[in-house]
Amino acid sequence: MNKITNNSCARREELVAYLYGEAQSAQASAFERHLENCAACRDELTAFAFVREGVGEWRADLLKGAPSLSLAGALALPSSQLATARPERDWRRAFAALREFFTLSPVWLQAGTVAAALVICALAALAVVRAEVRWDESGIAVNTHSGSMQQRPASVTPIPPAPVERIYTQQEIEQLTAQLSAANQQLEETRTQLQTAQQRVARAERQKDSAPVIRNATAKNEPTRKRRAPRHEEAQLKRNLNTDDEELPTLLDLFGETD
């Protein structure tokens, strides 16, 4: 395995794009000219090519041991081979290739890979312990459950206490009876006052309705009184005259006095 180099070239980031053929033709040509003058980039490109070749061989070994996906290929194999077939994996070679690729990767790729691995581990741990994550204004709160078999206690609805019947004493009963009698008496007095007030209102309304009739009758009788006034005065005058005549001495009386 080639020795890992520490490349400090400014164009190191273009290695991966050039290696996988993702760079444009102009950029690839310019980078090839750069490789002629930069030994660090050539060495790192060689190491990347070795890692890519190792990963390809590892992938080919995995595909060789994998069973055929077609029905005809599976039926063509003898039953004894199907029972004993196992995928042959060279874990050491695969691990070395991955380590080489991770070591030769840029710093940002290494940091991103580590961060992604940490996030996956954290999520897996939270899934195992059945944790509940809440994020609010006060911060992040994590609630964990002790196990999958643990059951939450059922919510119990509180039962209201039964009402207690109050027992009254004899003194309290007498006081309540007296208060009830006083309230009934006051109610009767109020009812009597109301009836009296209604009668007064009805009498006032009747008087109000009869007042114009009396006024009209009085107005009609006034001319009759005026017409009858002279007759009454004439009769009184006659009575006065008769009285005066009676008081005057007659001629016989005068003659008698003369005799």
68-77, 114-123, 155-164, 176-185: range with lowest mean pLDDT:
68-77
Q: At 241, list the tokens.
A: 């005259």
Q: Strands 139-143, 132-136: parallel, antiparallel or unpaired by DSSP?
A: antiparallel
Task: Specify the higher pLDDT residue, 247 or 38.
Answer: 38
Q: At 42, list the tokens.
A: 């050539």
The secondary structure element, H or E, covering residue 90 is none
Please write the tens of the pLDDT for every residue from 49-100.
777 777 677 666 666 655 555 555 555 545 444 444 444 455 666 666 677 6
Q: Model confidence at 104, in pLDDT bands (50, 70, 90)? A: low
Q: How far apart are the first and last CA of the chain?
A: 207
CB 52 within 8 A of CB 65: no
* pLDDT for 150: 45
Please write the tens of the pLDDT for every residue from 213-233.
566 666 655 555 555 545 666
For 83, which DSSP code?
H
Residue 7: name the closest of 40, 32, 46 by CA: 40
